[in-house]
Structure 1
Amino acid sequence: MTSRTTVLLCDDSRALRMLTSRQLVECGFEVVGEADNGIKAVEQYQALKPDVVLLDLVMPERDGKQALRRILELDPAARVVILSSLGAQADIEECLRVGAKSYLQKPIDADDMVRVLRETVA
């Protein structure tokens, strides 16, 4: 039996976290934690060591770019997928240069999310 891929879901929108979490579980992933700001995202990453992190760019207290850099400082092998809204192309490119594995555009398409996550952990 293979274990399910564990996901840490980081977004300041509770509604998006609820919807995305449900989609992930329905597609066979295990959501091991959620964070609504960048500081909690880093704390949750350290505590849970998920297989992959879905990380929103725009969050309070520490944004996604700052959280990405800190997670990669703690674990250079971390697999982080950036969540972004339209118009954030420069930020996405910066995150990919820093070490994010991929990105997803909001609103998130469930099929795209599953494909990107499977590619990220392959």
Structure 2
Amino acid sequence: MTARPTVLLCDDSRALRMLAAGQLEEAGFQVVGEAGNGLEAVGQYRALKPDLVLLDLVMPECDGRQALAKILEVDPDARVVILSSLGAQSDIEECLRMGARSYLQKPIDPEAMERVLHQVLA
């Protein structure tokens, strides 16, 4: 049996992390860590080296753009998928230029999430 892809889930909303973690587990992914702010996200990435990162744009202490830049400094090949609310298109485009692999709109559609994450892993 092949190992399930590992995911680091980064969002300041504990409720969203809980919901997304359940959706990820059902889709065959393993949530290996969670972070509630950008600084935690970078630290967790360094410690866990997950296959994928789901990264919210709007977080305290260090926002998603800053965390993305720091994660890519640690690992230029990091597979980061941005989570964003509607109306953040320019922020999403900036993150994609910086090196994010894709993005998902909130609220997260479980089928879209599974499809995007598998595309990013391919």
After TM superposition, the score normalised by the length of structure 2 is 0.99
1:103 alignment counterpart: 103
Distance 1:71 1:59 in 2: 15
**Which residues in structure 2 correspond to 1:21-100 (within 5 Å)?**
21-100=21-100
Aligned-residue offset at 1:80? 0.0
1:116 alignment counterpart: 116
Distance 1:71 1:116 in 2: 20
2:10 alignment counterpart: 10
SS of equivalent residue, structure 2 residue 9: strand
SS of equivalent residue, structure 1 residue 32: strand
Q: Structure 1: 5+ residue runs without aligned partners?
A: none
SS of equivalent residue, structure 2 residue 86: coil
Matched residues, number: 122
SS of equivalent residue, structure 1 residue 3: coil
Please list every run of at least 4 consecutive aligned residues from structure 1 whose deviation after the TM superposition is greater than 2 angstroms: none
Distance 2:106 2:98 in 1: 21
SS of equivalent residue, structure 1 residue 55: strand
SS of equivalent residue, structure 1 residue 2: coil
Aligned-residue offset at 1:27? 1.0
SS of equivalent residue, structure 2 residue 60: coil
Identity within the alignment, %: 75
After TM superposition, the score normalised by the length of structure 1 is 0.99
Per-residue displacement from partner, 1:69-95 (whole Å, max 9, x unpaired)? 000011000000000001100000000
